[in-house]
């Protein structure tokens, strides 16, 4: 499985640690930035790059990190086909995959440490979508809403 990772300067250190862990678990990591020493970069640029890589099928899933995780989650969810989940503990990580089939994980580098973030990422990567009809029906409604928004309908 290919995992795109991205962060702004506030999330860089956590992103680097998560990318290393993800690779150690046997996943291929595609690092879309930021890079060491870059300061004052804008989280929407990295969130867009990761979300688009996932939406286009260039990677299977994505992991995004900024200071709080809020900015990257808001941005990633603007890309059609993306279901980005902001998770700061393992329960929501598991549920975001099992119930929502989230394809982008967002975390905050100022909010959680490396140990917790690593546990979250592992749970999130290992949890499959349940495929239960009611959950798929709800995801289909999200896709319909995205389609309506793209076409100016209500």
- The yes-or-no answer on residue 66 being catalytic is yes
| 34: exposed, middle or buried (Cβ count in 10 Å: 0-12, 13-18, 19+) | buried
Q: How far apart are CA 152 and CA 25, in angstroms?
A: 43
Catalytically annotated residue among 9, 66, 87, 106: 66
- The closest alpha carbon to 62, from 89, 37, 31, belongs to 31
Residue 33's SS3 state is coil
Q: How far apart are CA 81 and CA 95, in angstroms?
A: 18
Q: How far apart are CA 99 and CA 154, in angstroms?
A: 25
Catalytically annotated residue among 9, 13, 87, 99: 99
Active site residues: 66, 99
């Amino acid at each position: 499985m290919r995992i795109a990772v991205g962060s702004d300067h506030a999330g860089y250190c956590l992103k680097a640690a998560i990318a290393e862990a993800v690779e150690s678990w046997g996943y291929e990591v595609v690092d879309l930035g930021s890079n060491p020493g870059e300061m004052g970069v804008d989280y929407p640029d990295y969130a867009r790059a990761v979300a688009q890589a996932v939406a286009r099928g260039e990677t299977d899933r994505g992991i995004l990190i900024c200071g709080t995780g809020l900015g990257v989650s808001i941005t990633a969810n603007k890309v059609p086909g993306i279901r980005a989940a902001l998770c700061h503990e393992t329960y929501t990580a598991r549920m975001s995959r099992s119930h929502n089939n989230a394809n982008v994980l967002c975390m905050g580098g100022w909010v959680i440490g490396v140990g917790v973030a690593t546990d979250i990422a592992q749970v999130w990567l290992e949890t499959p979508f349940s495929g239960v009809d009611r959950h798929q029906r709800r995801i289909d409604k999200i896709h319909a809403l995205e389609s309506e928004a793209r076409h100016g309908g209500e």
